[in-house]
Amino acid sequence: MSTDADAPQRPVEAPAWRDRKRYLWLWGLFAPTGLFTIGLPLIWALNELGWHRLAQVPFWLGPILVYLVIPLADIFFGPDGENPPDDVMEYLENDKYYRYLTYLYLPFQYASLIMACYLISADDLGWLGIDGGLHVVDKIGLAITVGTIGGIGINTAHELGHKKVDLERWLSRIALAQSFYGHFYIEHNRGHHVRVATPEDPASSRVGETFWAFWPRTVWGGLRSSWRLEKVRLERLGKKPWSLRNEVLSAWLMSVVLYAALVAVFGLGVLPYLVLQAVIGFSLLEAVNYLEHYGLVRQRTDTGRYERPAPVHSWNSDHIVTNIFLYHLQRHSDHHAYPTRRYQTLRSWDGAPNLPSGYASMILLAYFPPLWRKVMDKRVLAHYGGDITLANIDPGKRDRILARYGAGVES
């Protein structure tokens, strides 16, 4: 006599719906592989043609990609406009193809870092058509390029660090080691996601606050917050903060070991460039933080607590090209609603405030405060129905902001 338990289990069938971006996600690996697939071959070819000045340009491939190619591609290809339907969410979430793409980012990220250290330290690069070693300007460009790769790698770490799989959490810390920003793993998950869109959150920018004022506040604030969070966690366990049980210290130790190994192999001369690329990497992250919640704030309820995070508390963009490179980070409201949800299943929400272009374009705009405020302040004002007092305002500029927008119209 047979039972249901004895019957063969039918495999879960793939849904009829298909992710049209399934293979476009491979473009996310262009950033860590670009030095090998585009940069070095192009440098060699241009030097072979005798165009030595032009051959210096590919060393700056990172900023060219982030500040020129991706913004132009966002304009050309426009928004995505497609969300996965409800009945495929579970299947899509469990499709390991997508997570393997994030895993692959790391070996290419570190291969680029090691290659850059070799190029910076080498005295003879004749195989690239370069007489002797690199000029200082080329080394700076290369360090910025590698820092850009590390900065995008922080976003990969962000995707991995939210997951419940131990391997992915460890990979997240490895990805952060290059930029010496391992404390981000603690502060982002246990700090930012709790305090998002409140004046207490160092990663939520305020109306009237320039990126250049936000940068030191968020860098220092994030570091202090991560230390406090770990100190409280360890005190509950009866442990002291000055130990390797402190995940801030263990994360920094990973970076120290990495840098020490690179200096031991390639010489002390690479150290300034390692510092430069780290600053570039975490500054790229903080530029993204700056625009994700600019001026948005959760209101207090009758109990005195902040209301729950909602789609209205994050700036979104659905431009497809930046979404491919940043693993749907621009669908930020859905990420805050479902932090452990994998990137391929994140959705674009109706009712969420939207940026006029992709994150890559807006990062560049953020570097120029008058242009940023001309574009964004009126959007914050419109988001709050003309009542700027409902926004998250820079305390030092509050009177000026209220005087300018208090009547609900831009002066």
> What does the pLDDT look like over 283-297, one tens digit per residue?
999 999 999 999 999
The whole-number pLDDT of residue 291 equals 96
pLDDT in tens, 266-278: 999 999 999 999 9
The whole-number pLDDT of residue 409 equals 42
The whole-number pLDDT of residue 183 equals 96
The CA distance from 367 to 145, in Å, is 18
The whole-number pLDDT of residue 14 equals 59
Please report where in the chains the tokens 């130790």 appear, as a residue.
Answer: 253
8 Å CB contact between 292 and 314: yes
Tokens at 405, concatenated: 């927008």
The whole-number pLDDT of residue 9 equals 47
Q: Is the pTM of this model over 0.85?
A: yes
The whole-number pLDDT of residue 7 equals 46
The CA distance from 29 to 15, in Å, is 27
- Report, as ranges of residue numbers, the positions in the chain whose pLDDT lies below 50: 1-7, 9-11, 408-411
The whole-number pLDDT of residue 159 equals 95
The whole-number pLDDT of residue 407 equals 54
Give the CA angle between residues 356, 326, 143 to the nearest 5°.
105
The CA distance from 182 to 157, in Å, is 10
The whole-number pLDDT of residue 304 equals 87
The whole-number pLDDT of residue 18 equals 86
Phi/psi-derived region of residue 386, left when phi > 0, alpha when psi is between -120 and 50, beta in every other case: left
